Amino acid sequence: MSIRIGHGYDVHKWGSDKPLRLAGVEVPHTIGLLAHSDGDVVLHALTDALLGAVALGDIGQHFPDTDPRYRNADSMQMLQHSAALAQDEGYQLSNADITIVAQAPKMAPHIESMRQAIAQGLGVSISAINVKATTTEKLGFVGREEGIACHCVVLMASLSESAQ
Ligand code: MG
């Protein structure tokens, strides 16, 4: 069996009146994220990790933020499209480990819904998806609440011995 590792990282700046969407879940907060799409920084990091694992570039190449089609785009659809591209390359997601880096809001009440939304969106078991969150102890741009970051790593496995 062939395996591939992918890594994704994304940052968005606070300052929008859009609803805050993280990992496909609407999280109540006083401010939203600036973005051309729906600003789902978690799904963007995961999408980049999937594309990275199969050497298909990055989210910006597939869904340019200069393209009006992706204005307020549903990031779950971009994720699903990228998973389909990975599948075309012969790989499916084995597991994803996601770390949200934010000073606020509190993520703990939403973690299970986020895992569920991603698992459902990708058609994988919830046990394949881990979501965790940390603050930066008020340090740096995250600590000053200027923005939010997300890291993601994925493992992809070949669908069959011959698919490489
Ligand atoms: Mg992004």
- Residue 107 near residue 133, CB atoms below 8 Å: yes
pLDDT in the model for residue 164 = 44
pLDDT digits (tens, 9 = 90+) for 124-145: 999 999 999 999 999 999 999 9
Cα angle: 96, vertex 160, 58; to 5 degrees = 45
d(CA 141, CA 151): 15
pLDDT digits (tens, 9 = 90+) for 8-38: 999 999 999 999 999 999 999 999 999 999 9
Burial of 33 (0-12, 13-18, 19+ CB in 10 A): buried
- Residue 142 near residue 103, CB atoms below 8 Å: yes
Burial of 49 (0-12, 13-18, 19+ CB in 10 A): buried
Average pLDDT, the chain: 95
pTM: 0.95
Question: What is the CA(113)–ligand 1 centre distance, in A?
Answer: 20
Q: Cα dist. 80→55, 123, 139 in Å?
A: 17, 9, 34
Question: What is the CA(62)–ligand 1 centre distance, in A?
Answer: 12
Chain centre distance of CA 68: 21
Question: What is the CA(41)–ligand 1 centre distance, in A?
Answer: 5
Question: What is the CA(28)–ligand 1 centre distance, in A?
Answer: 19
pLDDT in the model for residue 129 = 98
Question: What is the CA(55)–ligand 1 centre distance, in A?
Answer: 19
pLDDT digits (tens, 9 = 90+) for 96-107: 999 999 999 999
Give residues whose Cβ lies within 5 Å of ion ligand 1: 10, 44
